[in-house]
Amino acid sequence: MMKTAILVDGGFYRKRAAFLWGKKTAEERAKELQAYCHAHIKAQNSELYRVFYYDCPPSGGQAFHPYTRKNVNLRKTDTYNWTEIFLQELKRARKFAVRLGVLSDVSTEYVLKPAVVRKLFDGSISLEDVQENDFTLSMSQKGVDMKIGIDISSLAYKKQVDQIILISGDSDFVPAAKLARREGIDFILDPMWANIKDSLSEHIDGIHSNWQKKARMERANIQETEPKGEQ
């Protein structure tokens, strides 16, 4: 039986899952991810080698909020607690390996949500209409893409698996995907229905997303804009 490793870009998965299926508790989101990965294994009729989950621990520093004009202790926020619980749930899950990068403190800041920025520029709201919850915390990850690339290379060179499924929408994985394919690995991309560049198709062996989108998205035929939230 074919052996499959699933690699999950955590930041990408959390945003897409929240967009597609709504916000959930940390425990619910962790169980959802496990079910999502196992659905891939069932669809491929393969044996699960391991799920590698890549993310960053929550920031416990401080960030200045432009609306309140105060520093926010991020360790006391709901996002910090949610992320801590979520990661602990995954660490306890069978055949899950959590790979953590680091967050750049320099680029951690509160910024206006994209939807609010669009409304400001199209004139539907003014600066006086902006509220505290119109801001979201923006953070930059370091080391996550590198860890994904290293694990893809290691799995391929050591012949530990026959297939790799990458849950991501990023094109940074292309060099590692090309290497894996040269080593005979069947490389599948799951962008969770996000739009990807047409040129990516030449560097992978297939695209497959599990389950279904929310019916409201399909009925409305709306352009997808991912929220910046953590949950």
Domains in the chain, please, with CATH?
3-220 (3.40.50.1010)
Q: For residue 213, name the pLDDT band (cuts at 50, 70, 90).
A: low
Find the range with the poorest average confidence among 36-40, 73-77, 88-92, 226-230.
226-230
Q: Strand pairing of 70-73 and 62-65? A: antiparallel
DSSP 205: S
For residue 208, is pLDDT > 60? yes
Q: Supply the pLDDT for residue 80.
A: 94
Confidence of residue 144 (pLDDT cuts 50, 70, 90): confident
Mean pLDDT of the chain: 88
Cα distance between residue 106 and residue 124, in whole Å: 33
pTM attached to this predicted model: 0.84
pLDDT digit string, tens, across residues 105-128: 667 889 999 999 999 999 999 999
Question: Which has more pLDDT, 63 or 229?
Answer: 63
- Measured between alpha carbons, how far is residue 10 from residues 33, 115, 179, 220, 221 in Å? 10, 23, 22, 27, 26
Candidates 187, 142, 150, 140; CA nearest to 168 is 187
In contact, 217 and 20? CB cutoff 8 Å? yes
First to last CA, the chain: 36
Q: Output the CA–CA distances (angstroms, integers) from residue 225 to 93, 111, 197, in the order listed.
A: 31, 16, 16
Q: Taking 50 as the threshold, does the pLDDT of residue 219 lie above it?
A: no
Helix or strand run (H / E) with residue 9? strand 3-9
pLDDT, residue 216, reads 39
Buried b (16+ CB within 10 A) or exposed e, 16-31: bbbbbeeebebeebbe
Diameter over CA atoms, the chain: 61
Average pLDDT over residues 51-74: 93
With tokens 């060099």, the residue in question is 175
Contacts of 180 (CB under 8 A, 6+ apart): 152, 153, 155, 156, 164, 187
User: Does residue 28 surpass a pLDDT of 60?
Assistant: yes
For the cut 80, the answer to whether the pLDDT of residue 104 exceeds it is: no
